[in-house]
Structure 1
Amino acid sequence: MIDENQFLQKLNDAIDHNRITLPTLPEVALKVRDAVEREQSSANQIADIIASDAALSARLLQVANSPLYRGRVTIDNLQMAVARLGVRLVRSLVISLIMQQIFQATSDLLDAKFRQIWEESVEIAALSRVLAANTDHLDKEQAMLAGLIHNIGALPILAFAESHDELLEDAEELDRIIDALSPRIGQRILEMWDFSESLIRVPANFLNLDYTSEGEMDYVDIVLVARLESQMNDNGSIDATTLSQIPAFVKVGLEPEVNIIEIEGVADDIQNIEVMFIS
């Protein structure tokens, strides 16, 4: 069994000496985020920034015309998409869409693992968006992004594992290392990306069932409950008594007996989100 602290020390050393590079946000995402935060940029200006990335432009138009976001008139240009959706929604969608690029395998050896983590993240994102839609103070698009990035700390671990045959040959050990180290690495990545504190807390705490948010529920609560709901869908029910003792589940306010997937309209929304991100 690999020593976690020793592995983390080696991983941090590799990152510090540029032998392993932490994932970075593409320039187009940074420019869109900065433009929206300045609050003086027009829809046309933001559309011009997005237009510099042909693949992202096509994906955003596709999403704008998807069942989740489309209106009565088909959107056929970026200016119309930004004007229709609004700049803040576009900012969230741009970063969310770019996550799919970041979760790309660095080698054929790890392709299946990258794909597994991405598909799990998309499911959590879809459930998180549904859960946040029922709150007054959380943004459902930010909740979706929180779901997509909750396990982003796994990416440099997987990249580093390429040079450790003992990890590549032992899937259970690799999963254990990811669970142990992903929170710290994920927090470091989002701090480097200058994400908001409300999102930085997500990768840092997504495995902490004892997490207790201050005041109203936050995005960590949402992602924790989304993960529990996903586990219940995959592995059957979790004991109601167990759920009632998890602070996040209590704060979100779901009844332990309720399967969120069975609520009318939820399954369709989740399927539409999965179609957006899994191709």
Structure 2
Amino acid sequence: MDRLEIFKSIAAEVNRGDIVFPTNVEASLKLQRILDDPDCHIDTAAKLIMADPLLSARTVAIANSAAYRRSTSEITHVRLAVNRLGFRTLKAMLAAVIVRQLNSKVKDPVLKHKADRLWEHSAHVSSLAQVIAKQVTRVDPETAMFAGIVHEIGGFYLISRAEEFPGLLDGEPEIWIEYGERMIGRGIMRQLNIPESVMNAVEAMWHGVCAFPPESLGDTLILANDIAPVLSPLHDVDREYNKRFARRLNFDTEDSSFQIIMDEQEEQIDTLATALMM
């Protein structure tokens, strides 16, 4: 079976719903469904999060990041962190854990490096999208952060399958873009019940057409992806010659220039990205 046929086969599986997630992902998906319940109490949420050491640590770290810190007092336990962040941010954190767990069984060191690099890219895109949404496009910053977390979900899933199919992630980028991103990525987002507005924003990023000045959730994600300091290892982009990227740094908002805003928000961006990468 050649590479194109493998992509088509995986895409067909995904779109039929024939996806077997690792056990830890299934547990996280169960927790996600509990948090989706409007009757879920904050104490229940805190207890469930405390059962997962990684999620607990990340929740407290993000509550103490510059993006969410409202005072000089440091959050030291999960319940206070949950109270500060709210359920919508918690669900974004849970999505981050699920994305990382997709590659928890990968043993090949090259693939593990790709997965780590892809997550580093996603964390930066997520933190940038949150700040751009808050300061520039005025769309919901929590939704923008969530979109940044899941925008490469198809890539993470394919890395988790790549040991079965050596060379799957090599070769012509056109095949990866059409099948890896669009068909498989869209199918995985549906299986994970990603909101339609977020799916539409991710699809807008695939097409790469951004308004100037940026104004929508899709524009927010495109801009965050283009200026992220860590590139996706699944895309062959030479930023030195990326004129679209350079152009995005030279526009004015209602309050200031984009570059000045990014410089002023550097601490928020960096601390949130660091907390997500834990």
> What TM-score range do you get, normalising by the shorter chain?
0.7 to 0.9
Q: Distance in 1 between matches of 2:17 and 2:130?
A: 38
Structure with bigger RCO (C-alpha 8 Å, 6+ apart): 2
Equivalent pair of 2:66/2:272 in contact (CA under 8 Å) = no
> Structure 2 counterpart of 1:56, which letter?
L
CA distance in 2, matches of 1:85, 1:149: 19
1:83-107 Cα offsets, whole Å, 9 max, x none, are 2333333333333344333354612
Name 2:235's counterpart in structure 1. Answer: none
1:115 to 1:176, Cα distance in 2 relative to 1, 3 A: farther
Give the equivalent residue in structure 1 for 2:234.
Answer: none
Letter in 1 for 2:73: V
Q: Is the CA contact (8 Å cut-off) linking 2:62 and 2:276 kept in structure 1? A: no
Query: Could you tell me which of 221, 224, 230 is aligned with 2:222?
Result: 224
Q: Which residue of 1 aligns with 2:146?
A: 145
Corresponding position of 1:274: 273
Letter of the structure 2 residue corresponding to residue 120 of structure 1: H
Which whole-Å CA distance do the structure 2 matches of 1:241 and 1:155 have between them? 24
Gaps of 5+ in 1: none
Q: Would you say 1:131 and 2:138 are equivalent positions?
A: no
Q: Could you report, residue by residue, the CA deviation over 1:251-278 in whole angstroms, capped at 9, with x for unpaired residues?
A: x9769xx663773322222211221123
Q: TM-score, normalised by structure 2?
A: 0.75
Counterparts of 1:5-44 in structure 2, within 5 Å, are 6-13=5-12, 15=14, 21=20, 25-28=25-28, 30-32=30-32, 34-38=34-38, 40-44=39-43
Deviates more, 1:98-107 or 1:152-161: 98-107
- The answer to whether the 8 A contact 2:65-2:272 is kept is no
Q: Distance in 2 between matches of 1:146 and 1:271?
A: 18
Distance in 2 separating the partners of 1:139 and 1:156: 27
Q: Deviations over 1:35-88 (max 9, x none)?
A: 3541x3322122122223233223212322233323333323222222233333
Partners of 2:266 and 2:63 in 1: CA distance: 20
- The corresponding residue for 2:61 is 62
| Superposition misfits of 4+ residues, deviation over 6 angstroms | 231-234
Aligned partners of 1:41 and 1:225: how far apart in 2?
35
Residue identity opposite 1:199 in structure 2: V
- The count of residues paired between Structure 1 and Structure 2 equals 262
Q: Counterpart in 1 of 2:259?
A: 260
What percentage of residue pairs aligned between the two structures are identical?
Answer: 22
User: Residue type of the partner of 1:222?
Assistant: T
Q: Is the 8 A contact 1:125 1:146 kept in 2?
A: yes
Q: SS of the counterpart of 2:49?
A: helix
Aligned AA (2:207): N
**d(CA) in 1 for partners of 2:80, 2:198:** 29
**Is the 1:75–1:81 Cα contact (8 Å) retained in structure 2?**
yes
Q: Which residue of 2 aligns with 1:50?
A: 49
Q: Retained in 2: the 8 A contact 1:128–1:143?
A: yes
Taking the aligned partners of 2:252 and 2:205, their CA distance within structure 1 comes to 18
Q: Equivalents in 2 of 1:92, 1:119: separation in Å?
A: 16
User: Alignment partner of 1:165: what SS?
Assistant: coil
Q: Distance in 1 between matches of 2:186 and 2:28?
A: 22
Q: Is the alpha carbon distance of 1:220 and 1:119 closer, same or farther for their aligned partners in structure 2, counting shifts above 3 Å?
A: same
Give the corresponding residue for 1:198. Answer: 197
How much does 1:21 deviate?
3.3
| Distance 1:199-1:25 versus aligned 2 partners, 3 A rule | farther
Q: Cα RMSD (Å) of the superposition?
A: 3.8
Instruction: In structure 2, list runs of 5 or more residues that go unmatched.
Output: 232-237
Classify 1:135/1:21 alpha carbon distance in 2 versus 1 (closer, same or farther; 3 Å).
Answer: same
Judging changes above 3 Å, is the alpha-carbon distance between structure 1 residues 22 and 207 closer, same or farther for their aligned structure 2 residues? farther
Offset of 1:128 from its aligned partner? 0.9
Q: Within 2, Cα distance between the matches of 1:274 and 1:86? A: 19
1:191-220 CA distances to partner (integer Å, 9 max, x unpaired)? 1111210112234332202378xxx94322
TM-score (norm 1): 0.75
> Residue 110 in 1 paired to residue 111 in 2?
yes
* Cα separation, partners in 2 of 1:240 and 1:26, compared to 1, 3 Å: closer
